[in-house]
Amino acid sequence: MYYGLDIPPFGPLGDALVLAGLAREAEDAGWDGFFIWDHIAREWRVDVVDTWIALAAIAMQTATIRFGPLVTPLPRRRPWKLARETVSLDHLSGGRLVFGVGLGSGRDCEWRNMGEETDLKTRGAMADEGLEIITRLWYGESFSFEGQHYTITDAHFTPKPLQQPRIPIWTGGYWPARPPFRRAARWDGVFPLGKQGGLLQPADIRVIVDFVGEHRQSSAPFDVVYRHPAVTDLDQGRELVTAYADAGATWWLEAIHPVHFGGNWEGDWMVERMRARILQGPPRI
C-alpha cells in the first residue's frame, strides 16, 4: 500500500508556494504521494491557484514524493499542450509525475459559464481522443491523427518522458457509472469516487477491481486509488487501510479538506489542523 494526500488548491492553499511547502513537509513526514485538484473556478468565493503552475513548484521543492493532478479534466484542455506540460513536469521532477485524468465536474462556474462542452458523452469521446494523442506524442515519433474532436498532422514531440513505457495515467470516475471504469482499464490506475460525496466501502472496491479486471487486456501493474476523509487516530486509520488493502486498493489517499477539520470552504479552513495531520504521517500497516 502507498499513502498519499488529496489537496484542494483553493482558499489559503490557493498559492503555489504554500502547496510546495506542504508537499515538502509531506515528503519529510513519510507520505508517498501529494495530489491536487484541477479547477479554474469554484462555486465558493475563494482563491484558486493554477494547478499546473503549482505542480511545477511542487516538483522543484521535493525529491522523492510522487505528485500530480487528481484529476485534470481532459475535455477542457488541448491534448498537445498537456503532452508538453506532462513531459516537462516529468523531467523537472526526475520522473515522479502521475497524470490523473477525468471528464470534469460539469459545474456551471467552469463549464457552461466558460463556453465549455457540457454533454457528458461528448466529453467522454474528447477524453478518449485526447489520451490517444497525448500518449502517441509521448513516443517521440512523427504522428498524425484525425478524430471527431481533434486533428493533428505530422507532429513530432521530444523529449520523451523519463518514465517508461509512459507516465502513469490514473482515470477518475464516479461509481457506479461504468464508462469511466472501462476507460480506466486501458490505462494504469483508477481513482473511484462515490456519487454525491458518498463513501465507498471495501465491498465497493472489490466490485470495482473485478469490473476493471474484466475489461483489462494488459497484465501490467494497475493502481486502485482509494480516497478517505482524513483520520487523526492512526490506529483506527491502520484498521481502515487494512480493510481497503484486502479489498484490492493499492493507494490510500487522505482527503485534507477543511470540512474534515471543523472548517468550511468559504470561512476558516483550520489550516494548522490540516498541516498537523500531514506532519503526523501516514497510517502504515
253-278, pLDDT tens digit by residue? 999 999 999 998 888 999 999 999 99
DSSP-assigned beta bridge partners for residue 145: 152
The reply to whether 70 falls in a domain is no
Tell me: the pLDDT tens digits for 104-140? Answer: 877 777 877 777 788 889 999 999 999 999 999 999 9
Average pLDDT of the segment spanning 18-36: 99
Domain count within the chain: 1
Find how far residue 262's CA is from the centre of its chain. 25
Distance CA 67, CA 167 (A): 12
Tell me how far apart the alpha carbons of residues 57 and 62 are, in angstroms, rounded to a whole number. 9
**E-state strands within the chain:** 2-7, 33-36, 66-69, 72-73, 99-102, 143-146, 151-155, 169-175, 189-194, 223-229, 251-255
Residue 177 has pLDDT above 80, yes or no: yes
pTM, rounded to two decimals: 0.95
CB 51 within 8 A of CB 40: no
For residue 21, is it within any domain? no
Q: Is residue 93 part of a domain?
A: yes
51 in a structural domain: no
Give dist(CA 211, CA 230) in Å, integer: 27
Look at residue 137 and tell me if it is in a domain: yes
Record the cell numbers describing residue 232, joined without a space. Answer: 487523526
**R_g over Cα of the chain:** 18
Within-domain flag for 4: no
Q: For the stretch 117-145, what's the b/e string if a residue is b when 16 or more beta carbons lie within 10 angstroms of its beta carbon?
A: beeeeebbebbbbbbbbbbbbbeeeebeb
Asked if residue 238 is part of any domain, the answer here is no
Q: Where are the beta strands (DSSP E) in 82-206?
A: 99-102, 143-146, 151-155, 169-175, 189-194
Mind listing the pLDDT tens digit for each residue in 143-161? 999 999 999 999 999 999 9
Instruction: Give pLDDT tens digits for 68-92.
Output: 999 999 999 999 999 999 999 999 9
Q: Tens of pLDDT along 227-244?
A: 999 999 999 999 999 999
Measure the CA–CA gap between 35 and 75, rounded to whole angstroms. Answer: 20
Q: Which domain holds residue 146?
A: 77-165
Is 89 in contact with 53 (CB distance < 8 Å)? no
Is residue 230, in this structure, part of any structural domain at all? no
Indicate whether 44 pLDDT > 80. Answer: no
